[in-house]
């Protein structure tokens, strides 16, 4: 019988805020619950979304009341989260704490506290970072701190893995790559013209398929309009693309600080009839916007995975994207045209894509089935479950890390015999001490204080005084002989 | 000790009535009664000592005979207080409080006075359920800020939309609590708001309330005894 776990997903980013990390956490949690695990989510409070909530399937969400500083990240209050976190972990009987997103302070704090409390921890990194500027250096140091003692790290792409290993000085063996997935059913290509007309925002006719030589090609861009999403590149490229290709138009969805630049560009070049700006749209509307187009343009400057291009391909769009980060790993080459992240190349690549579509050389109608067979959340959940098994010792070290790695001599001194990280305070301190000349000592101090707070909490709020939550009825999986009861 | 952790008493005077009381008062044994009695005497003594201190400090300056008071009862009281004031114990107290500035003395003794009079050692909160009529919550104990009588609230049956258990963040923890959703009100009514008993009690009360309020009386009783 496969073991089941009580898992706490911790991240600053969760619904009602839209985004890739948010839907990743939700989808992964749902699929893990389908496999018989118990999953709760810990995030901070949003406007109108506070307290303890239940989502579908009995997925429980704790919106911890904390103060938000920047782009919905909470203020780093290293220790103040501990009492609350301990209470939640004890009442839900959590075994594994799974943090998401490297910009989330809540996640880093949770990992630190979880290790102090003697729980297994996993971290999923969703983003790429630089090494040069001050903010990155600080974030990287923080990441190094919290990942010094993590049991396992999951990255969404190989590029992301390389980046994370370098930033946090990790042993590459303890980093797995598990890509994102899409719910292919939610991103079906358009089936009949009536459907498109119903969802249409404007009065435009549905996209012509197959394309005639003079039919309009619609290029869709859906992204938050921030610098790192390449909005500047987009602003520069749009007038040139429209100039080169008379029968094309753009649909741009999303909002952000760069929206004003785009609007100015549209006004200056008098392109109001060829560029439609929809503003921010909800995630469930993404598909309805996508099926109105032929080409999806993704000008991002940095991207760890790029779920949106998988969604676009699933909707049967030909994808033009910049060759940065993990994007080249995501889709097979017949679905995409790559460009360097610069204006000229982006214009040229879009031209190539339009030409290929005009020549009807691309079988976009097959994309959906192909994407569906490549990406599924169930698969992601199975692979994540394997990570949980590996770190909790349910499968052997040799099986989890590979047979070469099972040689004990190749392990660092602080790792236990079974290949899992030891909880002993002295071993933990050894791991933190290596973080830097000053930082190492500072981190050790933090860990010691955290441990003392833990001891204090054990005395002040004893475990016996915390009510245990009743579990939602667990699902059972077919492979399993008995119901998953721990 | 004099108090215990919150526990539940259930009274069922009739099949359609139930009273759930959550209290911090332990069962009244003889030693406990004696302890409580001595505590009351102590509080009473403290009350009079403070009152007398205030008298010696603030009221003895006016001469006894120049007072325009004619009521013989008050005159007798004043003369007794005056003799007490002149007694050795009274003089000692006067000397003791003399160096303390007046504002500080008043600032300390007046809240202390209120405390000795008003504070109740045991908090108990109850929920009375009457089928067909409604439910009534009441709270006594602690420091009754604002009102002297127990804070009670009656909710008629037709106003009750639901009785349910919820979870919420409170301080550094997540607590279970019983709420009554009242029709036409923005906020729900929290039952046992001061004590916020633990899940076991809350669940027992919830089952009991639903059993008494909604379910047909077929001898099935959902309350599961003391928590």
For B143-164, the DSSP string reads ---S-SS-EEEEEEGGGEEEEE
Share of chain A above pLDDT 90, in %: 35
Return residues 189-218 of B near A (CB < 8 Å). Answer: 198-200
Mean pLDDT (whole number) for A387-412: 71
pLDDT band at A347 (very low <50, low <70, confident <90, very high): very high
| pLDDT at residue A93 tops 80 | yes
- Where b means 16+ CB within 10 Å and e means fewer, B158-190 reads eebeebeeebebeebbbbbbbbbbbeeeeebbe
CA distances from A313 to A191, A220, A363, A456 (A): 15, 12, 11, 54
Q: Cβ of A466 under 8 Å from any chain B Cβ? A: yes
| Residue scoring higher pLDDT (A163 or A403) | A163
Instruction: Quickly list H helices, A392-436.
Output: 397-401, 425-433
| pLDDT at residue A3 tops 90 | no
- pLDDT (0 to 100) of residue B21: 92
- pLDDT (0 to 100) of residue B227: 34
- pLDDT (0 to 100) of residue A75: 62
pLDDT digits (tens, 9 = 90+) for B30-88: 988 999 899 889 988 988 888 888 887 777 655 555 556 677 788 888 788 888 878 88
Minimal CA separation from A85 to chain B, in Å: 8
Q: Which residues of B touch A92 (CB under 8 A)?
A: none
Q: Cβ of A467 under 8 Å from any chain B Cβ? A: yes
- pLDDT (0 to 100) of residue B225: 39
CA distance A111 to A97: 7
Minimal CA separation from A461 to chain B, in Å: 10
Q: Kindly determine whether residue A87 and residue B174, on different chains, have CB atoms separated by under 8 Å.
A: yes
pLDDT digits (tens, 9 = 90+) for A438-482: 888 988 998 999 999 999 999 999 998 898 988 888 877 665 444
- Contact (CB, 8 A) for A45 and A75: no
- Contact (CB, 8 A) for B113 and B124: no
| pLDDT at residue A95 tops 70 | yes
Q: Which two tokens stand for residue B38?
A: 């001595």
- pLDDT (0 to 100) of residue A408: 55
| pLDDT at residue A68 tops 70 | no
Q: Kindly determine whether residue A83 and residue B168, on different chains, have CB atoms separated by under 8 Å.
A: no
- Least confident range from A177-191, A365-379, B136-150, B166-180: namely B136-150
- pLDDT (0 to 100) of residue A192: 61
A63, A90, A91: best to mutate for the B interface, most B CBs within 10 A: A91
Cα–Cα nearest to A325, from A485, A468, A466, A125: A125
- pLDDT (0 to 100) of residue A417: 41
B164, B170, B174, B197: best to mutate for the A interface, most A CBs within 10 A: B174
- Contact (CB, 8 A) for A144 and A166: no
| Residue scoring higher pLDDT (A353 or A362) | A353
- pLDDT (0 to 100) of residue B62: 52
pLDDT digits (tens, 9 = 90+) for A128-144: 877 777 878 888 888 88
- Contact (CB, 8 A) for B21 and B9: yes
Q: Cβ of B173 under 8 Å from any chain A Cβ? A: yes
- Least confident range from A89-98, A394-403, B76-85, B115-124: namely A394-403
Q: Which residues of B touch A64 (CB under 8 A)?
A: 169
Q: Which residues of A touch B173 (CB under 8 A)?
A: 83-84, 87, 461, 466
| pLDDT at residue B136 tops 70 | yes
pLDDT band at A414 (very low <50, low <70, confident <90, very high): very low
Number of cross-chain residue pairs from A and B with Cβ atoms under 8 Å apart: 35
Q: Cβ of A166 under 8 Å from any chain B Cβ? A: no
Search chain A and give the residue with CA nearest B171. Answer: A84
Q: Cβ of B148 under 8 Å from any chain A Cβ? A: no
Q: Kindly determine whether residue A84 and residue B199, on different chains, have CB atoms separated by under 8 Å.
A: no
Q: Cβ of A87 under 8 Å from any chain B Cβ? A: yes
Q: Cβ of B168 under 8 Å from any chain A Cβ? A: yes
| pLDDT at residue A484 tops 70 | no
- pLDDT (0 to 100) of residue B111: 83
Q: Cβ of B187 under 8 Å from any chain A Cβ? A: no
Q: Cβ of A472 under 8 Å from any chain B Cβ? A: no
CA distances from A154 to A101, A108, A409 (A): 11, 14, 24
Q: Cβ of B37 under 8 Å from any chain A Cβ? A: no
Q: Which two tokens stand for residue B125?
A: 């909160």
| pLDDT at residue B143 tops 70 | no
Mean pLDDT (whole number) for A95-118: 90
């Amino acid at each position: 019988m496969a073991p089941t776990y009580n898992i706490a997903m911790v991240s600053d980013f969760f619904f009602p805020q839209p985004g890739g990390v948010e839907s990743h956490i939700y989808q992964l949690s749902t699929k893990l619950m389908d496999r018989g695990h118990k999953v709760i989510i810990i995030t901070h409070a949003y406007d109108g979304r506070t307290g303890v909530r239940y989502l579908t399937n009995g997925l429980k969400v704790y919106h911890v009341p904390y103060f938000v500083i920047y782009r919905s990240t909470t203020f780093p209050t290293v220790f103040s989260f501990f009492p609350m976190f301990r209470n939640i972990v004890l009442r839900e009987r959590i075994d594994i704490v799974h943090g998401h997103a490297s910009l989330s302070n809540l996640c880093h704090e949770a990992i630190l506290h979880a290790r102090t409390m003697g729980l297994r921890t996993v971290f999923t990194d969703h983003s790429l970072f630089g090494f040069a500027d001050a903010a990155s250096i600080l974030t990287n140091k923080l990441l190094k701190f919290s990942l010094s003692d993590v049991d396992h790290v999951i990255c969404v792409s190989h590029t992301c893995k390389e980046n994370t290993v370098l930033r946090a000085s990790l042993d590459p063996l303890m980093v797995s790559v598990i890509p994102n997935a899409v719910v292919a059913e939610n991103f079906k290509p358009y089936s009949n013209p009536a459907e498109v007309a119903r969802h249409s925002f404007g009065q435009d006719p549905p996209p012509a398929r197959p394309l005639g030589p003079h039919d309009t090609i619609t290029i869709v861009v859906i992204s938050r309009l921030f610098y790192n999403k390449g909005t500047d590149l987009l602003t520069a490229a749009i007038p040139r693309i429209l100039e080169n290709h008379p029968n094309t138009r753009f649909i741009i969805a999303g909002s952000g600080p760069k929206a004003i630049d785009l609007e100015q560009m549209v006004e200056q070049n008098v392109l109001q009839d060829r560029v439609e700006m929809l503003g921010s749209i909800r995630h469930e509307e993404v598909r309805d916007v996508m099926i109105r187009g032929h080409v999806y343009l993704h000008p991002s400057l940095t991207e760890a995975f790029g779920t949106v291009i998988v969604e676009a391909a699933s909707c049967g769009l030909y994808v033009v994207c910049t060759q940065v980060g993990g994007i080249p790993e995501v889709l097979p080459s017949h679905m995409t045209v790559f460009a360097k992240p610069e204006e000229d190349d982006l214009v040229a690549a879009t031209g190539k894509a339009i030409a290929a579509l005009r020549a009807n050389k691309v079988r976009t109608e097959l994309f959906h089935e192909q994407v569906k067979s490549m990406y599924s959340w169930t698969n992601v959940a199975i692979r994540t479950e394997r990570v949980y098994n590996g770190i909790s010792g349910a499968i052997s070290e040799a099986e989890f890390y590979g047979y070469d790695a099972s040689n004990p001599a190749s392990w660092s001194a602080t790792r236990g015999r079974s290949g899992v990280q030891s909880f002993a305070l002295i071993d933990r301190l050894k791991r933190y001490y290596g973080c830097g000349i000053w930082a190492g000592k500072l981190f050790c101090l933090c860990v010691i204080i955290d441990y003392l707070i833990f001891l204090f909490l054990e005395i002040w709020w004893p475990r016996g005084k915390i009510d245990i939550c009743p579990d939602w009825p667990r699902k059972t999986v077919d492979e399993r002989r008995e119901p998953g009861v721990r | 000790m004099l108090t215990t952790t919150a526990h539940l008493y259930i009274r069922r005077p009739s099949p359609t009535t139930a009273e759930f009381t959550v209290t911090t008062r332990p069962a009244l044994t003889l030693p406990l009664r004696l302890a409580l009695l001595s505590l009351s005497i102590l509080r009473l003594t403290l009350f009079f000592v403070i009152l007398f201190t205030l008298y010696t400090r603030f009221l003895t300056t006016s001469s006894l005979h120049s007072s325009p008071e004619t009521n013989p009862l008050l005159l007798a009281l004043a003369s007794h207080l005056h003799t007490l004031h002149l007694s050795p114990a009274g003089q000692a107290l006067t000397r003791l409080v003399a160096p303390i500035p007046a504002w500080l003395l008043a600032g300390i003794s007046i809240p202390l006075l209120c405390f000795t009079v008003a504070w109740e050692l045991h908090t108990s909160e109850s929920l009375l359920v009457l089928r067909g009529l409604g439910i009534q919550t009441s709270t006594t104990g602690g420091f009754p800020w604002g009102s002297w009588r127990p804070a009670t609230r009656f909710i008629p049956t037709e106003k009750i939309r639901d009785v349910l258990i919820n979870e919420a963040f409170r301080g550094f923890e997540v607590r279970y609590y019983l709420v009554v959703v009242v029709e036409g009100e923005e906020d729900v009514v929290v039952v046992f708001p001061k004590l916020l008993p633990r899940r076991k009690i809350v669940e027992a009360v919830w089952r009991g309330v639903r059993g008494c309020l909604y379910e047909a009386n077929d001898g099935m009783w959902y309350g599961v005894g003391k928590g």
